[in-house]
């Protein structure tokens, strides 16, 4: 009986001794970051960023959440095709303003299919980071096949909005504090196209 007890005791003691404890450091320990910049250290960050301003993925849009409602103006080329723009974390994620002396217009783009005056284009957001927004613009025109694709890139650096595109355009926009009200625009006529956010 004593031998059996002693044998059992030795077995229990030997099973409690672990000599090779291996801990793997491959677990994702990056904190989750909210659009406000607040971090949650107990949750792990997802590296599959899902951003779709048209639907349920709206809260996954970091750039659009951070710059929701902001206006930007190209002060050096004020009368260019896109003299002012606004980002929205909504169905229409960007509004483009063309302010001219005689006729001004605005329009909005949304992800997915856009149609205006019988012409069609498709927009897909490819990168939506804290200060970076990239999207592909597939232009169909009146056809069923893509005529051309342009990649648009926006990034905020030192409080300025830098724009570039794969077709060679580059602009720098400054934050705008203008009021985009119909009555405040000194123009002969304002044409509002689909998605326009003139107030």
User: Is 50 exceeded by the pLDDT of residue 5?
Assistant: yes
Q: Name the residue ranges covered by the structural domains of the chain.
A: 67-192
pTM of the model: 0.66
Q: Calculate ∠ Cα 110-115-118, nearest 5°.
A: 165
**For 82-96, how does the pLDDT look when each residue is reduced to its tens digit (9 = 90+)?**
678 899 888 899 988
Side-chain half-sphere exposure of 64, counting CA atoms within 13 A:
26
67-192: CATH topology is: Lipocalin (2.40.128)
Quote the percentage of the chain above a pLDDT of 70.
Answer: 64
Strands 189-192 and 103-110: parallel
pLDDT category at 176 given cuts 50, 70, 90 is confident
**For 111-137, how does the pLDDT look when each residue is reduced to its tens digit (9 = 90+)?**
999 988 889 999 999 998 989 999 999
């Amino acid at each position: 009986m004593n031998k059996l007890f002693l044998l059992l005791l030795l077995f229990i003691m030997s099973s409690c001794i672990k000599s090779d404890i291996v801990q793997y450091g491959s677990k994702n320990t990056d904190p989750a970051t909210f659009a406000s910049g607040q971090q949650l250290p107990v949750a792990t960050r997802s590296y599959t960023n899902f951003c779709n301003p048209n639907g349920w993925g709206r809260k996954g849009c970091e750039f659009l959440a951070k710059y929701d409602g902001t206006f930007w103006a190209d002060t050096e080329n004020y009368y260019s095709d896109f003299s002012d723009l606004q980002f929205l974390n909504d169905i229409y994620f960007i509004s483009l303003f063309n302010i001219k002396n005689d006729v001004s217009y605005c329009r909005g783009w949304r992800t997915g299919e856009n149609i205006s005056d019988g012409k069609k284009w498709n927009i897909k957001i490819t990168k939506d980071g804290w200060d970076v927004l990239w999207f592909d613009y597939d232009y169909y025109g009146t056809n069923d096949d893509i005529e051309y694709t342009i990649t648009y890139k926006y990034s905020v650096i030192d409080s300025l909005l830098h724009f570039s595109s794969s077709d060679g355009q580059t602009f720098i926009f400054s934050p705008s504090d203008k009021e985009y009200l119909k009555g405040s625009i000194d123009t002969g006529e304002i044409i509002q196209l689909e998605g326009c956010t003139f107030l």
